[in-house]
Amino acid sequence: MNVTMRRFVVLGMAALAVPAAVAAQTGQPAPAQQSAKPQPKPQPKPQATPASQPAATPVVQPLPNADQAPLKWTLADGKALLDLIQGIGSEGLIPYDYQMQGLAAAIADGEGAALDEQATRSFSWLVEDLRDGRTPMEARKQWFVVDPDPDRMPTRQVMAEALENHDIAGVVGKLAPTVPDYAALKDALAATPKANKARIALIRANMDRWRWLARDLGSQYLLTNVPEYQLRLTVNNKIIRSYKTIVGKPGRTATPQLAEIVEGVIFNPTWTVPQSIVKGEGLGARLLANPASAKAQGYAVTKGANGFINVVQQPGKNNSLGLMKLDMPNEHAIFLHDTPSRHLFDSDKRALSHGCIRTERAQELAITMAILGKGAAKDEAVAISVSGKYTKVPLQKTFPVYITYFTMGRDINGQLTTFNDIYERDAPVLASFDQPRQANRARKTDEEVVEIVDDLQI
Range of the domain at 158: 3-132+149-178
Residue at 238 is within a domain: yes
Q: Are residues 370 and 265 in the same domain?
A: yes
Answer yes or no: do 256 and 170 share one domain.
Answer: no
| 108 and 248 belong to one structural domain | no
pTM for the model stands at 0.83
Q: What is the pLDDT of residues 79-112, one digit of tens each?
A: 999 999 999 999 999 999 999 999 999 999 999 9
Task: Please indicate, yes or no, whether residues 99 and 44 belong to a single structural domain of this protein.
Answer: yes
CATH number reported for the structural domain that contains residue 251 in this entry: 2.40.440.10
pLDDT at 68: 65
| Least-confidence region, from 56-60, 122-126, 329-333 | 56-60
Q: What is the mean pLDDT of residues 103-128?
A: 97
**Residue type at position 205:** A
- Domain assignment present for residue 276? The answer is no
Other CB atoms within 10 A of residue 320 CB? 23
Alpha carbons 187 and 40: distance in angstroms, whole number: 47
Same domain, 371 and 230: yes
Is the residue at 48 inside a domain? yes
Partners of 233 in beta bridges: 222, 241
- Is 416 part of any domain? yes
Question: Residue 188 falls within a domain, yes or no?
Answer: no
Task: State the DSSP code for 216.
Answer: -
Q: Are residues 164 and 262 located together in one domain of the fold?
A: no
Q: How many domains does the chain have?
A: 2
Please indicate, yes or no, whether residues 350 and 236 belong to a single structural domain of this protein.
yes
- Give the 3-state secondary structure of residue 33: coil
259 and 154 within one domain: no
Instruction: Give tens-digit pLDDT for 364-400.
Output: 999 999 999 999 999 999 999 999 999 999 999 999 9
Q: Do residues 255 and 404 both lie within one domain?
A: yes
Nearest CA to 348 out of 246, 233, 458, 225 is that of: 246
How far is Cα 93 from Cα 200, in angstroms, rounded to an integer? 11
* Pair (365, 251) in one structural domain: yes
Identify the sign of the CA torsion 319, 320, 326, 329: negative
Closest residue by Cα to residue 284 from 271, 296, 274: 274
Q: Are 173 and 55 part of one and the same domain?
A: yes
**192-237 pLDDT, tens digit each:** 999 999 999 999 999 999 999 999 999 999 999 999 999 999 999 9
Query: Do 128 and 242 fall into the same domain?
Result: no
CB-based contacts of 37, cutoff 8 Å, min separation 6: 12
β-pair partners for 417: 409
The answer to the question of residue 310 being in a domain is no
CB atoms within 10 A of CB 50: 14
What are the residues whose beta carbons fall under 8 Å from the beta carbon of 12, sequence distance 6 or more?
34, 35, 36, 37
Within its chain, how far is the Cα of 308 from the centroid?
A: 42
Q: Is residue 247 part of a domain?
A: yes
DSSP element (H, E) containing 403: strand 391-404
With beta carbons less than 8 A apart as the criterion, state whether 402 and 221 touch.
Answer: yes
440 domain-assigned: no
- DSSP code for 32: P
- Whether the Cβ atoms of residue 18 and residue 1 lie closer than 8 Å to each other: no
Among candidates 31, 78, 83, 33, which has minimal Cα distance to 52? Answer: 31
